[in-house]
Every structure is written in structure tokens, then in C-alpha cells.
Structure 1
Amino acid sequence: MRRAVFSRRGAAAAASALGAATAVALANSWPASRETGEQDLGARCEAKAETTTPEDEKPRTPQISMRTQSRTKPVSSAKKPHLCSLNNDFTPGCGELKVFAGNSNLALAEEVAQHLGVSVGRSNVKRFADGEVSVKLDESVRGKDVYIVQPTSPPVNENLMELLLMVSAARHASAKRVTVVVPYFGYMRSLAHSAPTKSRTDWNYARSNLAAADVARMMEVAGAQSVIAVDIHPPGQGMAEGFFERTPIETLRAADFVPRELANIIKSLAEESEGLAVVSPHASCLTKAKNFKVALSEALDTPIDLATIIRTPPPPSPDGTPTPRSVDLVGNVKGKSVIIVEDIMESGSTTCAAIDALHSAGAKSVSVYCSHALFNGEAAARLAKAGIEKIVVLNTVPVRESDRAALGDKLEIISVAPEISELIRKMHYETK
């Protein structure tokens, strides 16, 4: 055991001595090997210099394949800053804002674009032989703030499909935000969840869908991130806001901007009569009529009366033949210039019944205001024969040339383009 331990210790000492000797030998030989290495390197450099030709001294151009060249294009400059950000305010003609339009109301879209200092974007909206709608945006909207102006006026279903496909096209084209501008929002009249089939005392109810909520859902699924509308039916009741789950909706109320224009139109009528009165033709317009009364009174600086017409449905006849509704006027309009405040005018029968009731009550003159003049069928001709002084409408829906001719000088059109464009300014860029 002792002998084995001694042997291991001796081997370690011998290895240590051998390592020290090797280190000393390397240290003594280092200068010589360094000089030899430097001499060899110098000789090789001199030999290479003697064999170098002037052609070899020219810089060589690296050979790059076509695929590599396509990948080595110069990097474009940084993205241009937002023009509105540079001025810290909305700048007309901002390239980050795009306005598109379908076939429903191109004239209104062009007027809105003109107020914003831009032109209506190029698009191709057409129909195939079987009626299918085809939509194509003919300019880039990548990273842009897009506004699509398209009221869902008659033909309602075709215009609605155009709107949905344009929203989808803008979303798939990588638009930064897509806002739907629907001056006339169709399908807002199907709000009742149930309706009686025979009478109010009958428990047999027919179920119906909430069409407005379904249309709102379709807009959201298509990609609409914001909605702008004008005087949604029923006016002043704020139902549309609850139909959208995650999309904000901005509603322009006619009572906030129309009375200023309306006051200039009816000012002469007020001077020729014993006063003014605002009349609601049915219960759903009563809130709107109140707002118009207050705004007109402030604009004309004169007191204005308020009246309403109550249309009572008749009891069902025993033989099932339809009977007309009774029309009752609540309020005094004798000797006054009356303004009927309507939301949607379709056939004009309700408005004509109200005009007859007001004339019978002694009104000196009757004028009509309507936010959305659909004028279906012979509505315009029927109103022209009803004995109205003026009919004032918004251009949320285009008025046909035949209807303009039927109404003649009685027709006055107020544009909503300034109000829509002002709201777009605020939505596009807000002063920081």
C-alpha cells in the first residue's frame, strides 16, 4: 500500500518537472520562430506583388442573380406624416381620407366630398344579368379612413346589398377604418316584436322580426366600424343605438340644423297670418315636432303653438270591410300658418289626411316638412293637389325629376351635405 502511494507521488513530481522543462524550451525558441514566420510572410507578399497585373487591381463586381437583385431594391423612404397632424387640424384634401358612393345617391356623395376637399373614389358597382351585384374599388384604400355614402332608399334591397359589398370590399382591401354613411336608414319601421291580427283585445298575435336590428348586424359582419345616419325612424326615440352590438352610430337630428333654413322659408308666411303652429301628423312624430317648435321659436324670435293629430283606428266592422281611421286635431290652428313635421313620406295619404283636417280647422296656410321624401307612386302629385303652400325636404333620398315637376315651386330641398361633412371632419381628425 505504501509502495503504491509512493509510486503515484513520484509520477506526479516527474510530470511537473517535465512540464516546467517544456515551458522553458518553448520560451527560448519563441523569438526565433517569430522572426522566421515574419520572414516567410514578407517573402510571400513580395512574390504576390511581382505576379499582380493592373487588371487584377480593378475592383471586382459581385455577380448577383436576378432573384437576389429583386430582393435588393432600395428601401423606400419613411411613410409621409398625416397631413392633418402637421397642421394640427383637419386639412381639406387630406390624402388619408377616402369617400366612396354606390348608385343610390351619388349627387349627395359628390357634395359631401366637395365640402371635404376630396373627390369621390373610383369604384365599379354593376349588376349581372340575373341581378347579382358586383363591387370593385378601383383605387387603393390600404391604411385609409374610408367613408361610404349609400342611403338604403328604393330599391331598398339592391341598395342595401351594394352597401354591404362595398363595406366588405374596403375591409378586405386593408382600409384602416370603414364608416357607413346612411342618410336614410331603411328597415327601421319593423320595430314591433308582435302585432295583433284582428283587434287589440284579441290574444292571437302575429310574430315579426326586428328588421332594423338584423340590418345593423349585417353591417357589423360586413366590416362597418362606425355608422352615420340622419333622423332615424321613429324620430327622437333613440332605438337605433341599441341595435348595434359594437359599432358606434352618430345620428344627425334634423331639429338641430333644419329650423335655421326652415325659418327663412316660412318667415313671410308667418308675417301674413296670426301666428305659427307646428303640427305632428301622428303620435310617432310628436317628440320631433316639439323639438322643431322650440328651435323655430328661437330662430324667428316669436312664440309658436304646438298641435297634434290623433288617428284612432276604427273598430272592426262585422262584415270585415275596411273603415277609415278617425282623424282628430288637438290644438288651435285657426288663422295660423301651420307646418306639418313629418319623418318619412311614402304614399302621402297620412299627410293629405292631416292637411284636410287642418284646413277644416281654419288654418290659413299649410306647409309640410319631411326628412325622407320617398314619394312612391303618385305621392308628389297627390300632395300638389292637397292645397299646400310649401313642402320642404332633405336630400337624404334623391327626388325624381317627375316629382320635381309635379310639385314645381312648392318644393324646397335642404342639403344635409354640410352637416355630414362636418361630422366626418370631427371623426377623421380631432384637434389634439
Structure 2
Amino acid sequence: MSSQDYMNTSMQEPPLDYSFRSIHVIPDLLSEEPRPGLRPLRHSKSGKPLTQSLWLNNNVLNELRDFKQVLSQLLEHPENLAWIDLSFNDLTSIDPVLTTLFNLSVLYLHGNSIQRLGEVNKLAILPRLRSLTLHGNPIEEEKGYSRPVTSQSTRVLWSCLSRSLQPRVQAGTMSPAIALAFLPLVVTLLVRYRHHFRLLVRAVLLRSLRDCLSGLRIEERAFSYVLTHGLPGDPGHILTTLDHWSSHCEYLSHMGPVKGQILTRLVEEKAPSCVLELGTYCGYSTLLIARALPAGSRLLTVERDPRTAAVAEKLIRLAGFDERTVELIVGSSEEVIPRLRTQYQLNRADVVLLTHRPRCYLRDLQLLEAHALLPAGATVLADHVVFPGAPRFLQYAKSCGRYRCRLHHTGLPDFPAIKDGIAQLTYSGPG
């Protein structure tokens, strides 16, 4: 395989994941089995994984001795390593071996024991480094950490963060007279839609800014918070921790406790043998369903984004649910639904939860009907049918004659003034 072919292949490959393995020294990687991913890793002819990502987070490493030698035995082209996650270890410094990986673009070092801000200087020679995380280290207490203009170390840190921001040149300006004419309209809209504006700021603008500055998605930041504050094996406490994170830290766009009560009550009443969820996201609604299932029941949950699915799977396993109870499938719902019967042995879904994309609800409902996955009496719950809305889905459910429809009126979590709702459909059969 040529170097260019390798680059094209490995960029799409899942990471080599040694997280949560209690690894003390790097040579232990050679005797430790990596965690099975949601997608299998491809290997070269020599049997080494074709990937540019290595996850060593949540171990007990305090040094990286023999790192390069071990990499050469683990990876086909270790010099092309682009993403290393060393977060939540016991590292006290930035090992010089990291500065020899000139293709490194993402480096997670948050949650370690790095004490000197000057350690960041070592990374200045990495030309492609664009995402660097250092929060949760003792260096946060060092003067100048939060003001990246006072020293060489902080300038290096700021340059790593700013590479992903790519400022745009302003194309033109509006004249003051025109701007003043629109001012009353703008004020009126801001007053009338102030709750939507707050939602836009919290869910889009602030989230995008934090994503750029931290190098982490909001789901990954929420999971780090759960690891610190949640009780492993207690799904109820983990759900409460996520609610607290969303209310007091960053808006998570999850189902929330009010809608969660509707979902939990329905699952407890139906006592389904099998539940299908389309749209796992961070795993919040998955935990709600799983803890309400009767013994021996099964939940299949589908998430199209592999990175989000990786976080959700960790959260589900942290809550204590194994793959026999909760099976997470990575892929688009349109591709997964036709394979549910043959590949995942799902003959019928007594309860279906739609939480992915409202514009896909109608398509997926009709796919479930076409593949005879809905038995008579099955319940379909669809979230967000009012905001942002799924009008074609609701119109079809009410007019096709195969469903009894009920709409549970709610508000968005943390934004009760923004009206939303959950549609509950009861399937009467194909006739």
C-alpha cells in the first residue's frame, strides 16, 4: 500500500482504543487487548492497524518511556499518527517524544498533573497541531494561563487554538442610516423571540466557541463531567448529573426530565420485549429506556455519528448496561432499518423512539412499515414534533388510518417557554 493510499484509508479508520485499561507503563500496550470499537479496524498485510488515532485516556500513565518503540510495533506507520488522547492520566510533563510526531494535529492532555506552563513550549515545533487541551491540570492555577499574550508558553498555546478558528475578512459594511432604519424591527424580534435567541446563543454560538477552544465536542465534555461527578453503575444518578450539566454548565439539547417521565412511564406500562431507538445522541434517552425495561428485554439504539456514538457507548457501559441489554448500532437509520431483521435479529419492535432528525421521521416510519417491523399495538414516540417540528410526519400519521395519535405538549429542557411536544402513535396494523 502506498503512503498516499495509507493516508486516505487511515483518516477514515476508528482509533486504536486502549482507554480505561488501568495501564501503568507504555510497554503494557503490547500485552493488552484494545477495546473493541463500533467499527472493526482495517489492518495492513503485516497485521498492523491502519489508523492515525490512538486513545490512551483514563489510564494511570505517569511517563511515556518506550513510546516510539511500542508505536512501531502497534501501527503500520506510527510517524503519521495524527490524534493522541492522553487525557485523565498522571503525566507531570509533556514528553519530548510527542514533539517528534510532526503529523500530530489533535493532542488531548486534559485531566493530568502537568504543573509548568513552560511545558507547552515543547509543542511549538509541531506544524499541524490545531487542537490542544490542557484544562484540568495544575497549570490552570499558574499566572498567565488564561491570558495568552504574556509569555512564550501562552502564545504557543493560543496559536494551537487559533489555527482552528480561521478568521474571515469582512466583505463589506452597512451604512449607519440603513442600520438605524432596521433597529425597531430588530428590537421587536429580539423581545418577541428572546427565548429562541437565548437558545441560539447557548446551543449554537457558545457551543461552537467551546468546541474550537477545547478541541472537544459538547458530548465529550459532558462525559468528562459525568466521570467526575456521576456514580458508575447508577443510571439514575448519571441522568441527574447530565441534567445538572445542561442546566448549569452547557445546554446539551437532550430529552430532559419532563419528557423523560413520559418516556419512562410508557416503557413501564408497555413492558416491551424489544425497543428500537433511532438517534442515540449522548445516550440520555437510552438510559431512560434501559432502566425501565423488564428483565430479559432488549434495546437497539442507532446513531449515525461515530464520534457521538463512542461517547454514548461509554456512558451506557458506565451506567452498568451490557450489550445483551443495550446494543448500539452505528450507521444512518435509512441503511440500518432494512438490515434489522437479518443482521440484528429484530423481528418486531414493541416500542420505537424517534429522536434523530425530524425531517427523517416520515421516511423511517414508512421503512419500518415496509419491513413489517411494527406489530399491531406497537407504540411509536417521536420527539421534537413541534420544535423544530415534523409536520409531514404528523400529517401522515393522522391521515393514513393506521395510527391513533396523541400529542404530549411540553417545553424544551431549560427553555419551557419554547413549546415542543412528543407524538405518541399506536399502530393498528397494515390493513
TM-score, normalised to structure 1, is: 0.30
Higher strand share: 1
TM-score, normalised to structure 2, is: 0.30
